[in-house]
Amino acid sequence: MMSAEAAFQLGLDALRQGREEEVIAPLRDAAARYPDRAELWQVLGLNQRAAEDLGAAVESFRAAFRLAPNDRKIAQGLAQCLSEAGVAGAAAAFEHAARIAPDDLEIAQGMIAAIAAEFGPLAALERLRPMLQRHPEWLAGHWLLSRLIGVSGTPEPFDRVLEQAVRQRPGNADLRHQWLFTAMKRRDWNRAIAIAVDGRRLFPSDSRFGWSEAACRSEAGDFAGASALYERLGPIPDIGNGIYRCRHWLRLGEPQRVSDLAAQVPDPALAEPLFPYLSVAWRLLGDDRLAWLQPDQLVGIYDLRAALPPLTDLADHLRRLHTQVNEPLEQSVRTGTQTDGPLLSRAEPIIRHLRGAIEGAVRQHLATLPPVDPKHPQLRHRRDRPVRFAGSWSVRLRGSGHHEQHIHPEGWFSSALYIALPPGLGGSDKAGWLTLGQPQDSLGLDLEPTRVVEPAPGRLVLFPSTMWHGTVPFAEGERLTVAFDVAPPRG
């Protein structure tokens, strides 16, 4: 018989190794044998959460909380699981955790997110502002404030509080760089350039400001200024700046340099963020490797209507989750809203039904893939692990709404599942259709999509997360979808 200590260690090891499915049953047995050991219910809940079974994780954390209501990590774990499961009471649970650990900013961040989900972004803003007054150097808090301002529809400048914090602490380079990062996410390139120029002057040894200024100048159309600065900066320090460098080369009509840069990163895992730009470079160069990178089998179209909940019921449920006014600051949505939090982790029966249908389609898709290829961003992964999601959400586009062309850097395969569509989509301009393979307009390239897909209620489209995708604007009505990123398998 396993001791309580051994069971607890088994659970911790499984979390580190991605083996949560294997240990849930023995952990459940151990918790039943030692029902007064809060840490066993806690580690069981953590493994259930890792398995994305949030309803079960909530119950395990509730059992742990009854035994140890003043344990900070248990209180935080319960609150987090309630929030991700979409269960009422998450904000109150975070409030309790915050009373136990009033200076824990990770708990504070979760509390603000839960308040936004339960009571709306304006209520979350009201709670967040005094926190930032007490913790003016809290970078994650400033980013959260900027996002909430963006989705709430308030006329306040997105970075007013952050600018004030920077002005009051001119020697804090990290705070100034957060201001720069936020302006870049807002695509306010001129403002970002001004912040970066001041940053270079104030912190001449901090290369982040020079690399960001070069990137912003290219994004703003100052190609000569960007090129001159890039030449002075020297070798590319990391993949993040390598992406901006690739964007600049593509704007200059130098795709070969993009291809050459990727060849210098031999590890496919490290090179993966470059593949969207490689696909463009190889297309411009007429390189046969494009067919290797994006074979037709990587895109799948599945009719899930028979497997889904009634679409009218699902649409009504999703609409109630769209509590934001505007699109998120950092996302591809234009003229619409996007739900926050992991949609497919929610515990409502209709969402569990939706998730089951999606998981079946993902498993079907993985079974059709070409053989494993260790150098390929999608095909290098094993296909025998449980389906997990790196993110999931719903998007509600209004008239003239669309998705800008983009990619999903955290995913393995990405998706579009159509729930409700406006009448009159299609026509000669393919209004409302999904486009694949067309790079962002901001790269200045005259390239058409390699494929377009017609939406239909209940239709799921799966495609590589490294593939450019977007949508064609439509005139009027509502376009309601579910989207998710399949997570690369662990282990």
- Residue 406 belongs to domain with CATH number: 2.60.120.620
Which of these ranges, 64-73, 264-273, 406-415, 442-451, has the smallest mean pLDDT? 264-273
For residues 96 and 215, state if they share a domain: no
| Residue 297 in this model has a pLDDT that exceeds 60 | yes
If phi over 0 gives left and psi between -120 and 50 gives alpha, with beta otherwise, what is residue 157? Answer: beta
CA angle 436, 318, 424 (to 5 degrees): 50
Nearest CA among 223, 225, 245 for reference residue 234: 245
| Residue 287 in this model has a pLDDT that exceeds 80 | yes
Are 177 and 153 in contact, with CB atoms under 8 Å apart? Answer: no
The mean pLDDT value of the chain amounts to 92
Q: pLDDT-based confidence at 466, cuts 50/70/90?
A: very high
- Specify the pLDDT at position 338: 85
Cα gap 482→416, rounded to integer Å: 6
Residue 361 inside a domain? The answer is yes
- Specify the pLDDT at position 270: 83
For residues 112 and 178, state if they share a domain: no
Q: H-helix or E-strand containing 402?
A: strand 389-403
Last residue of a domain, one of 257, 272, 293: 293
- Specify the pLDDT at position 318: 95
Q: Compute the radius of gyration of the chain from its Cα atoms.
A: 24
**Mean of pLDDT values over 273-299:** 96
For residues 217 and 283, state if they share a domain: yes
**Mean of pLDDT values over 105-133:** 94
Which pTM does this prediction carry? 0.91
pLDDT in tens, 310-357: 999 999 999 999 877 555 555 555 567 888 889 999 999 999 999 999
**Mean of pLDDT values over 88-99:** 96
Last residue of a domain, one of 259, 275, 293: 293
Question: pLDDT over 70 for what percent of the chain?
Answer: 97
**Mean of pLDDT values over 291-305:** 96
- Specify the pLDDT at position 155: 83
- Specify the pLDDT at position 434: 93
**Mean of pLDDT values over 394-410:** 82
- Specify the pLDDT at position 346: 94
Largest CA distance in the chain: 71
For residues 368 and 352, state if they share a domain: yes
| Residue 153 in this model has a pLDDT that exceeds 60 | yes
Question: pLDDT over 90 for what percent of the chain?
Answer: 81
For residues 367 and 390, state if they share a domain: yes
Residue 177 inside a domain? The answer is yes
Cα gap 338→340, rounded to integer Å: 7
| Residue 158 in this model has a pLDDT that exceeds 90 | no
- Specify the pLDDT at position 429: 81
Angle between the 239-251 and 207-219 helix axes, to the nearest 10 degrees? 30
Last residue of a domain, one of 128, 152, 176: 152
Give me the domain span that covers residue 73: 4-152
Residue 113 inside a domain? The answer is yes
- Specify the pLDDT at position 48: 97
- Specify the pLDDT at position 29: 95
For residues 97 and 167, state if they share a domain: no
For residues 301 and 182, state if they share a domain: no
Residue 396 inside a domain? The answer is yes
Split into its structural domains, the chain has a count of 3
Residue 25 inside a domain? The answer is yes
- Specify the pLDDT at position 426: 75
Q: What is the CATH number of the domain that holds 272?
A: 1.25.40.10
| Residue 157 in this model has a pLDDT that exceeds 80 | yes
| Residue 269 in this model has a pLDDT that exceeds 90 | no
pLDDT in tens, 16-27: 998 899 999 999
Which tokens is 239 given? 């993949």
- Specify the pLDDT at position 478: 87
The neighbouring-strand residues paired with 288 are none
Which of these ranges, 42-46, 75-79, 119-123, 417-421, has the smallest mean pLDDT? 119-123
User: How does DSSP assign 365-389, residue by residue?
Assistant: HHHTSPPP-TTSTTTTS-S-SPP-E
| 478 vs 484, higher pLDDT | 484
- Specify the pLDDT at position 4: 92
**Mean of pLDDT values over 437-459:** 94
For residues 24 and 135, state if they share a domain: yes
**Mean of pLDDT values over 363-391:** 94
Nearest CA among 202, 198, 232, 201 for reference residue 214: 232
Which tokens is 178 given? 């957060």
> What amino acid is encoded at 87 in this protein?
V
- Specify the pLDDT at position 124: 94
pLDDT in tens, 184-236: 998 999 999 999 999 999 999 999 999 999 999 999 999 999 999 999 999 99
For residues 402 and 280, state if they share a domain: no
- Specify the pLDDT at position 340: 83
For residues 51 and 167, state if they share a domain: no
Cβ neighbours around 463 below 10 Å, total: 25
Residue 491 inside a domain? The answer is no
For residues 326 and 209, state if they share a domain: no
pLDDT in tens, 41-91: 999 999 999 999 999 999 999 999 999 999 999 999 999 999 999 998 999
For residues 315 and 459, state if they share a domain: yes
Cα gap 23→429, rounded to integer Å: 52
For the chain, the helix, strand and coil percentages under 3-state DSSP, each to the nearest 5: 55, 10, 35
Residue 91 inside a domain? The answer is yes
